[in-house]
Structure 1
Amino acid sequence: MHQMNDLRRVDLNLLVILDALLSEQHVTRAAERLHLSQPAVSHALARLRDLLGDPLLVRAGAHLVATARALELMAPLAEALAQVQSLLVPDAFDPAAAKRTFRLAMSDYGAAIILPGLIRKLRREAPGIDLQISHASREGMLDGVLNGDIDVAAGVFPELPNEVHSVPLFEEHYVCLVDRHSLPGDGTLDLATYLARPHVLLEMRGSGTPEIERALTGIRERRHVAISLPHWSVAPGVISGTDLILTVAARGLRNIDQASLTVVPPPFEIPSFSFVLAWHKRRGGDQALKWLMGRIEEGIVRA
């Protein structure tokens, strides 16, 4: 109750700035999001600290971190602003007029699936929206979502912290990419051949593809990884003309050179997985972000 009494002492404009500051945990990014100057947001933060009797954001190395008091304010503040917005301006977000930069994290696999259709849609419907795309391991993407460096991450996240919400985009399965001429006459890949041959592993900073290793462990087998790559783009060229095998998500192989390469099922069961969008729950009231994720979902459904 004391918390809400404090909030009543603050005008609505300051609440909007506080919400952006707690969401971004960065004065400059909050200013860009609100289309205000950095000094104006810094001044508002000083007023908020005085009114609420708490520093709200404190520096920890290169980042600002929310205090315990600020963390308590996040949920009621986001809920209050969402209610005000729905009452006063139900359709507040106008894509055609929006000026906004979103920070998305995804692998080059995710980028190949999401970005072509999304960018065409943005250029038609919301030309003032810019995208900053980053590439990181699964752990790195989640860290970015948690600390506010990333607005939304696209990837495979078997376990998500309670603070992170997600929506599935599609179910995916694994296949094997091999040189067409390296297969036996019947064109199949058996388990003995799979285990005897060297493999290419796609990984970013050691994240790898644990689903494949778990499946092999389940049948008490191991594979030999001859080459580890941090990105997908060079992998088909590495496979061509060799005995190497790449076990990878199927959607990433839509445009391979079928004259020299071929896709075959793995000779053992690897569970399918869900490819999702993940964002911090404090961004739940961000109508622009909801709109963007909706466009991403539409593009995947129609793919």
Structure 2
Amino acid sequence: MRTPEILVQFSFRIYGIEMVDIRTFDLNLIRILDALLDEGSVTGAASRLGLTQPAVSGALARLRHALGDPLFVRAQRGVVPTPRALDLALSVKRVLREAEAILQPSAFDPASAQFQVSVSASDYTQRVLLTPFLSILGRDAPGLRLAIRPLLGGSLLPLMARGSVDLALLTLEEAPEQLISRRLFDDRYVCAMRRGHPLSAGVLNLDAFCDLKHALVSPQGGGFRGRVDAALDVLGRSRHVAVSVPSFLALLDILAETDLIAAIPERLVRSAPDLEQQPLPVAVPEFTIIAAWHERTRHDPAQNWLRARLADFAGAA
């Protein structure tokens, strides 16, 4: 950090090592000295700083003691600085400017920055959002290295806390409540099938839907039930799930090569030219994809830029 270096330099030049210990000196006195130099009066300095006149007078007394000089003497109107105070003026301004610069958010230029971000996402959000977003990143932030990881479920929060993952793309329901989040987009389920499927030209009613063989994604592997089955249960109906796969990308290939159908997110179907869609004959709730991150990166300028750019891209896609 630069702050100690600046203040040590200040103590060397102004106070002298033998006179003042920077570790015990009240640094607020520097602001008061600057205000007195600018205003030329205790009253004016007090008004500028939002302090009382006695408080500024007390601070001036402490400055005089620390520096071994009167610093200001009374005049017909206000106070005038001594030669020692005038000699300090430029140094005081410089130190305050540098201190203010330290407290300002660091500037971030994506075009020249070299940085790395780790994103946890399902293959669905990788396909419909991250893959097309890469062309934007390559153009606007050529120095970015993006590490894309699978969606990590229950281990996400501790991984984010220790910095192994910076950003997660997941549904609102999947996100740990301790994370900060931002909505990216909404999606809905449709019935997907290969182009030229025997039922692609007709209207898919509930009976036909239940009679056909289905495929679905089971992220943990081995499952044969999903959101559609819960909706069918309400109607007292069921379907035959013939194939269960662990990823959406595998499911797209299966649908393109077989007569199986599947209820999948509409954006995913739009990304697969070999597939077409029909409305589901059963009501399945829409879902929301969000970006989620840990408090650790809330104020990081590179992370803030990436999150904002991603949100803009998701909203326009």
TM-score (norm 1): 0.63
Q: For 1:68-217, list aligned pairs within 5 A.
A: 88-90=103-105, 92-136=107-151, 138-139=153-154, 141=156, 144-145=159-160, 148-184=163-199, 187-206=202-221, 210-217=226-233
Q: Match of 1:244?
A: 260
With over 3 angstroms needed to count, the CA separation of the structure-2 counterparts of 1:138 and 1:173, relative to structure 1, is: farther
Deviation at 1:220, TM superposition (A): 3.2
Quick check: which has more Rg, 1 or 2? Answer: 2
Deviation at 1:146, TM superposition (A): 5.0
Q: Using the alignment, how far apart are the partners of 1:229 and 1:242 within structure 2?
A: 14
Q: Using the alignment, how far apart are the partners of 1:268 and 1:131 within structure 2?
A: 39
Q: Using the alignment, how far apart are the partners of 1:225 and 1:143 within structure 2?
A: 35
Deviation at 1:218, TM superposition (A): 2.7
Residues 141-190 of structure 1 show CA distances to partners (whole Å, capped at 9, x for unaligned) of: 55643554211111213153332111111111000112344444851211
Decide whether the 8 Å contact of 1:195 with 1:222 is kept in 2.
yes
With over 3 angstroms needed to count, the CA separation of the structure-2 counterparts of 1:214 and 1:89, relative to structure 1, is: same
Regions of 4+ moved over 6 Å: 10-13, 84-87
Which of 256, 265, 283 is the equivalent residue of 1:269?
A: 283
Letter in 2 for 1:232: F
Q: Using the alignment, how far apart are the partners of 1:203 and 1:149 within structure 2?
A: 25
Decide whether the 8 Å contact of 1:183 with 1:189 is kept in 2.
no
With over 3 angstroms needed to count, the CA separation of the structure-2 counterparts of 1:217 and 1:278, relative to structure 1, is: farther
Q: Match of 2:314?
A: 300
Q: Using the alignment, how far apart are the partners of 2:148 and 2:302 within structure 1?
A: 17
Q: Using the alignment, how far apart are the partners of 2:183 and 2:299 within structure 1?
A: 19
Residues 200-245 of structure 1 show CA distances to partners (whole Å, capped at 9, x for unaligned) of: 1113224978433332333233333221222222323312353311
Q: Match of 1:71?
A: none
With over 3 angstroms needed to count, the CA separation of the structure-2 counterparts of 1:257 and 1:288, relative to structure 1, is: closer
Matched, 1:225 2:241: yes
Higher relative contact order (CA 8 A, sep 6+): 1
Q: Using the alignment, how far apart are the partners of 1:265 and 1:160 within structure 2?
A: 28
Residues 32-91 of structure 1 show CA distances to partners (whole Å, capped at 9, x for unaligned) of: xxxxxxxxxxxxxxxxxxxxxxxxxxxxxxxxxxxxxxxxxxxxxxxxxxxx99973345
Q: Using the alignment, how far apart are the partners of 2:238 and 2:303 within structure 1?
A: 42
Count the aligned residue pairs.
Answer: 222
Decide whether the 8 Å contact of 1:145 with 1:153 is kept in 2.
no
Q: Match of 1:33?
A: none
Q: Which runs of 5+ in 2 are unaligned?
A: 5-98
Letter in 1 for 2:267: R
Deviation at 1:294, TM superposition (A): 0.8
Q: For 1:12-31, list aligned pairs within 5 A.
A: none
Which of 270, 289, 310 is the equivalent residue of 1:254?
A: 270
Q: Using the alignment, how far apart are the partners of 1:117 and 1:184 within structure 2?
A: 31
Q: Using the alignment, how far apart are the partners of 1:291 and 1:226 within structure 2?
A: 44
Q: Supply the RMSD in Å over aligned alpha carbons.
A: 3.0
Decide whether the 8 Å contact of 2:153 with 2:174 is kept in 1.
no
Deviation at 1:126, TM superposition (A): 1.8
Q: Using the alignment, how far apart are the partners of 2:157 and 2:262 within structure 1?
A: 26
Q: Using the alignment, how far apart are the partners of 2:252 and 2:127 within structure 1?
A: 15
Decide whether the 8 Å contact of 2:216 with 2:243 is kept in 1.
yes
For residue 233 of structure 1, give the secondary structure of its aligned residue in structure 2: helix
TM-score (norm 2): 0.61
Residues 5-25 of structure 1 show CA distances to partners (whole Å, capped at 9, x for unaligned) of: xxxxx9969xxxxxxxxxxxx
Decide whether the 8 Å contact of 1:164 with 1:279 is kept in 2.
yes
Q: Which runs of 5+ in 1 are unaligned?
A: 1-9, 14-83
